[in-house]
Structure 1
Amino acid sequence: MKFYFFLLLSVSTTILSAQTNSYEIAFENAVHHEAVIKGSFPKLKTDTVSFRMSRTSPGRYALHEFAKNIYNFKATDSKGKTLEVLRPDPYQWQVIGHDGSITINYTLFANRGDGTYSQVDETHAHLNIPATFMYAPELSERKIKVDFKVRNDLGWKVATQLPLVSGTTYSATNLYYFMDSPTEISNHSIREFEVEDNGKEQKIRFVLHHNGTDEELDAYFENVKKTVLAQKDVYGEFSNFDYGTYTFLACYIPNASGDGMEHRNSTILTSTRSLAEGGMEGNIGTVSHEFFHAWNVERIRPKSLEPFNFEEANMSGALWFAEGFTSYYTNLILCRAGVISPEKYVEGISGTFNYVWNSPARQFFNPIEMSYQAPFVDAATTVDPVNRENTFISYYSYGSILGLALDLSLRKEKLNLDDYMKLVWKKHGKTEKPYTVENLQQSLAEYAGNDFAQGFFGNYIYKSEMPDYSSLLNSVGVTLKQNSEEPYFGAAVSLNGDGHGEIKSNPKMDAPAYIAGLDKGDIITDINGSGFPDGQQFSTYIEKLKVGDTLKITFNRFGAVKKTTVILKPNPDYSLTLMEKEDAKPSKKQLRQRTDWLKTTP
């Protein structure tokens, strides 16, 4: 998340102080997930001041109603007089009758530790600022100071990208930078290292709140360092971090909710996996993804997200690039850094590839239009059923597979995606000049030629066609193949507790289950007169059958007994494997291309 922030120069200390909004936040009732917040707003010039809770959060695109967790709101003037408060809508509190100064007090309930919400308990105060602090839109350009009243009895310390004033008081140059600055208050551990770039030293700081050992953190931090340095190689230089520091805020604790969220000079990383129980391997991908955003999306910024709107959903047609190309690099970087093997990396592409390639959704939306869906899917909530299995492909996955295609296509032309990203960085990242999708095409034309750029954008971005992945992967010694003898049903089925099977997903269009008229929620009671195969996974049962087998199915829908016939088709999924694993010997050219791609020793 990038925001412009403005330095206040040649201003006296008195004037600066008068134009500063101040907050205090305390956690005496942390055991019940409460924080008590006080905000002071001096030198007010309007009769009525509106205080709001944000409805969005930097890096997220859907609406989040943070106001629902606010209560005990009170407002007073400089003399302590209680002021009248109006509620014109659910998101704001209008205060009238002040004497030029307003102090607000309220209680926040916070119990979700992720990249969007806040969590307060006796293990930590995990604060995403939009979910925590009210703000006055008309005062958005004022400097902000915030005093985090830490629980010394719990050994708490403050970690944030905000610059320290003194003690536990931090500052922000304006509202936008404040909102973009998550804060972790806990008894955490810190590891850091210096990076030198273009004659300037910057600090990479890794803050970890966990229940593990220092030895586990030390080992994990080595992989973090490798990942950070491998990402720098893509762009040729680091971003110019404000205040000279980039901070990872990691919570690997049982009460967290798995997530990752980028910010201008920091990122939140949350997981229930401890380093000792799978987190050493399972959590590092989020580190890679979020740090790549320090370039791509924080500074290489879609124009459609500028300025970020805290009151409405934020929509962009460029998320296939901002999120998707970042996803492409996530595991590629881990491979280049030696954190995962080339074999694991290549085979790991299979799931994402199949999700995109086999989705019926491409007939409805191209990658730009899939990006438009973000406000409905990016941690959004809904109570009505949706048909995402057939109508939506995540822009993370769609963009990742297109990033793979573009990289391998460029390499056939003795070019590469890294150098294209460097060009986009130079034109739009270092200059912080927001881009449009048209700008991305123009940059590709500048790098690879107009015909190449028109072909890629015309076929795969503005339309939803798919490249020739078999040829592209073959160029780097990777085999793409299907198992035509593996049977396919086309819907997820699980035991429902009474020996029957419930269809848990909307059947894929044109899949056997779809053609047979089965639907989500149907209860399968009998298959070929033998009941439902109780005691085993339904997928395991299907695997033992053959393509073309006929399943005469009895099922219950809305209390009525129905029958249908399913004829199993070949599984449409592909697998990606290194040629060597298939007893095929790649040529020297293929190995050389693979080495250049993965930056590994052949």
Structure 2
Amino acid sequence: MKRLKPIVYRIFPKFPEAHLFEVSCTVPDPNPEGQHFALPAWIPGSYLIRDFAKHVVAIRAASGRRPLFIEKVDKHTWRCDSTAGPVTVTMDVYAWDLSVRGAHLDTSHGFFNGPCVFLRVLGKEERPCQVEILPPRGTRYRAWRVATALPRDGAQPYGFGRYAARNYDELIDHPVEMGEFRLVSFRACGVPHDVAVTGRSDADLDRLGRDLQRMCEHHIRFFGEPAPFDRYVFLVTAVGEGYGGLEHRASCALVCARDDLPAPGVKEVTEGYRAFLGLASHEYFHAWNVKRIKPAAFVPYDLNRECYTTLLWAFEGFTSYYDDLALARCGLISRQDYLQQLGRTITQLLRTPGRTKQTVVESSWDAWIKYYRQDENTPNAVVSYYIKGSLIALCLDLLIRDRTRGRKSLDDVMRALWLRHGATGVPVPEDGIERLAEEVTGLKLGAFFDKALRSTGELPLKSLLSRFGVKMVLRPAESSMDKGGKPAAKPAQRVTLGARTAGNSTEVKLTHVLDGGPAQAAGLAAGDTLVAIDGLRVTPSNLESRLARYRPGDTVEVTGFRRDELFTWHLTLAAAPLDTCYLTLDGAARFAGRLKAWLGG
């Protein structure tokens, strides 16, 4: 059989000061009727139409040295004139999105995801691809290196040069970092792993490598060796404030606050470092759950438009359950730390009025227009398939363990998903997880799934946790900064406005007005700026202390601005709701075995 010539890409940081990549795509045998090229409208793993073509500053085409006419036929597709020889399309791409989803270039580093920069050659998506990654020109960049899981095809380790992919889908699933990053490497179950840290940071990389090695080995052994990749790369961008991650088949992109990384000489797991480890664990678990165990709606990805599925509660929610659970099971965090984080997750759900209006099935389907397009009414209308999905996983895990007397668990369901769907490439139908859970456990779970997935009823968290010696306690929040997870430091009755606020040093601005709360009843709205309560000025720093002088049922006069108009509202304060959760252990010996089987030693 004649071997097809590859599509050849070339990416060059042409003008770091102006944040411009020059990216070319050469097709050796274009469509004789005129070749079409397109940029994806979205990036897998982030369910929002992002229209990456909007960052194309200029585009041109040529066959050899002969310029060709190229025209745009829709928002992200171009057609090149017919020609007998190879066609090269070259773009200048603006890269100033410092996120895990985009492309970013300046004089300190470069980063890109494939969907942002690599044109798709329509009709030739299964062709092999070659990529030449070039360094910027100038001596100031001579120390730059490359970090990526993209297979090398002549490039030296961490070097610029030629890389390869089997097809376009693989090409865009390997983000690339270039710059003077710090690097630590380790092996997990024999598989090489790299951690490249970009941004100013004094993080203890040796400790970071050891901790990530322990976490990675746990996940690999959870699903069963060997790992589904030959090597893996964590691309970490450390910034002043930030948090986010995006999974790929053999790597992940992470953004974190630099202070969340482990500091030299500090042995404890700080709250920030625990959050970073949970983020890394989440994206790593995705290498199995969503990158290889895929919903049928994603096989293949339609990169032109939305790909709808009702299953994000499982692919994101189950991953959110196992991310922190894995840290407890492998000993990176204590059992108490895990229960504290679980209490905070329950708190997040309880503080979301939208849980009484939207099911997680609806949330999954509407991710494209609701979860990823949040506005001032989102808390009242939307439930997170991450948060509620993770708590559904918790309930399902405990329910299975309880009904089978420990013989089965959600772990068995996940491993069956891997063997039946992940290892084989057979996609998961919309009802596949529910059916497989019943098959693996031998239980009738229809009633549970109907309530948890297709209704807005409350989850049986308290009763299920109690069967494992965990007591769920609800209390009012102590302040707007109270995330839950712990008992109150100073139990006291507290009033609430029924609104969320943000502000600078002088203004209190309402960001969200919650359904059924005092602010909504009084007529306040998101965007209103509060000036005074009962004639006394309020600021972000004194709002809590000002409200502490009142009791539930008191009526106050609130003065504030809506746009440029001054308003006065009369608001009857309410008692802070019992929406803050913490978990405690019963301590009874009869629960020891169950807890160990669930949470590990």
Q: TM-score range by the shorter chain?
A: 0.7 to 0.9
Contact residue 60 and residue 378 of structure 1 kept, 8 A: no
State, as a whole percentage, how many aligned pairs show the same letter: 25
For residues 336 and 542 of structure 2, the distance between their equivalents in structure 1, rounded to whole angstroms, comes to 28
Contact residue 187 and residue 213 of structure 2 kept, 8 A: no
Deviation at 1:317, TM superposition (A): 0.9
For residues 257 and 467 of structure 1, the distance between their equivalents in structure 2, rounded to whole angstroms, comes to 31
For residues 189 and 534 of structure 1, the distance between their equivalents in structure 2, rounded to whole angstroms, comes to 42
CA deviations on 1:434-476 (whole Å, 9 max, x unpaired) are 112311111111123342x112212111222223222222223
SS in 1 for 2:45: coil
Amino acid at match of 1:547: P
Moved more, 548-557 or 272-281: 272-281
Check if 1:164 corresponds to 2:148. no
Amino acid at match of 1:124: H
Contact residue 76 and residue 82 of structure 1 kept, 8 A: yes
Check if 1:491 corresponds to 2:499. yes
Q: 2:558 aligns with which of 544, 553, 557?
A: 553
* Distance change >3 Å, CA 513–CA 117, structure 1 → 2: same
Amino acid at match of 1:146: V
Amino acid at match of 1:456: F
Amino acid at match of 1:504: T
Deviation at 1:565, TM superposition (A): 2.5
SS in 2 for 1:165: coil
User: Which residue is equivalent to 1:467?
Assistant: 459
SS in 2 for 1:107: strand
Amino acid at match of 2:6: T
CA deviations on 1:233-257 (whole Å, 9 max, x unpaired) are 432435421xx22222222245x96
For residues 57 and 348 of structure 1, the distance between their equivalents in structure 2, rounded to whole angstroms, comes to 29
For residues 342 and 273 of structure 1, the distance between their equivalents in structure 2, rounded to whole angstroms, comes to 26
User: Which residue is equivalent to 1:184?
Assistant: 177
Check if 1:374 corresponds to 2:392. no
For residues 226 and 549 of structure 1, the distance between their equivalents in structure 2, rounded to whole angstroms, comes to 54
Check if 1:399 corresponds to 2:389. yes
Q: Summarize the alignment of residues 132-281 of structure 1 with structure 2, pairs less than 5 Å apart.
A: 132-151=117-136, 153-167=141-155, 168-196=161-189, 201-213=190-202, 216-241=204-229, 244-253=230-239, 258-274=243-259, 275=261, 280-281=273-274
SS in 1 for 2:169: helix
User: What RMSD, in angstroms, separates the aligned Cα atoms of the two structures?
Assistant: 2.4
Q: 1:502 aligns with which of 509, 529, 544?
A: 509
Gaps of 5+ in 1: 1-9, 580-584
For residues 248 and 170 of structure 1, the distance between their equivalents in structure 2, rounded to whole angstroms, comes to 18
For residues 314 and 594 of structure 1, the distance between their equivalents in structure 2, rounded to whole angstroms, comes to 39
Deviation at 1:323, TM superposition (A): 0.4
CA deviations on 1:18-49 (whole Å, 9 max, x unpaired) are x2111111124212211112221112233211
* Distance change >3 Å, CA 541–CA 234, structure 1 → 2: farther
User: Which residue is equivalent to 1:412?
Assistant: 402
Q: How many residue pairs are counted as aligned between the two chains?
A: 565
User: Which residue is equivalent to 1:7?
Assistant: none
Check if 1:56 corresponds to 2:39. no
Q: 2:474 aligns with which of 475, 482, 495?
A: 482
* Distance change >3 Å, CA 426–CA 94, structure 1 → 2: same
Deviation at 1:194, TM superposition (A): 3.3
For residues 160 and 354 of structure 1, the distance between their equivalents in structure 2, rounded to whole angstroms, comes to 38
Q: 1:456 aligns with which of 438, 448, 463?
A: 448
For residues 587 and 517 of structure 1, the distance between their equivalents in structure 2, rounded to whole angstroms, comes to 50
Contact residue 239 and residue 294 of structure 1 kept, 8 A: no
* Distance change >3 Å, CA 445–CA 107, structure 1 → 2: same
CA deviations on 1:37-66 (whole Å, 9 max, x unpaired) are 222111223321122221111212111121
* Distance change >3 Å, CA 338–CA 538, structure 1 → 2: farther
For residues 597 and 117 of structure 1, the distance between their equivalents in structure 2, rounded to whole angstroms, comes to 38
For residues 424 and 276 of structure 1, the distance between their equivalents in structure 2, rounded to whole angstroms, comes to 35
* Distance change >3 Å, CA 368–CA 537, structure 1 → 2: farther
SS in 1 for 2:532: strand
Moved more, 531-540 or 20-29: 531-540
Deviation at 1:358, TM superposition (A): 4.2
Moved more, 265-274 or 67-76: 265-274
Deviation at 1:379, TM superposition (A): 4.9
Gaps of 5+ in 2: 156-160, 264-269, 477-492
Contact residue 148 and residue 176 of structure 2 kept, 8 A: yes
TM-score for both structures, normalised by structure 2: 0.88
TM-score for both structures, normalised by structure 1: 0.88
For residues 363 and 226 of structure 2, the distance between their equivalents in structure 1, rounded to whole angstroms, comes to 30
For residues 377 and 156 of structure 1, the distance between their equivalents in structure 2, rounded to whole angstroms, comes to 40
For residues 54 and 470 of structure 2, the distance between their equivalents in structure 1, rounded to whole angstroms, comes to 51
Amino acid at match of 2:318: F
For residues 234 and 262 of structure 2, the distance between their equivalents in structure 1, rounded to whole angstroms, comes to 19
* Distance change >3 Å, CA 546–CA 315, structure 1 → 2: same
For residues 519 and 109 of structure 2, the distance between their equivalents in structure 1, rounded to whole angstroms, comes to 48
* Distance change >3 Å, CA 307–CA 435, structure 1 → 2: same
For residues 410 and 556 of structure 2, the distance between their equivalents in structure 1, rounded to whole angstroms, comes to 47
Amino acid at match of 2:390: S
Contact residue 113 and residue 257 of structure 1 kept, 8 A: no
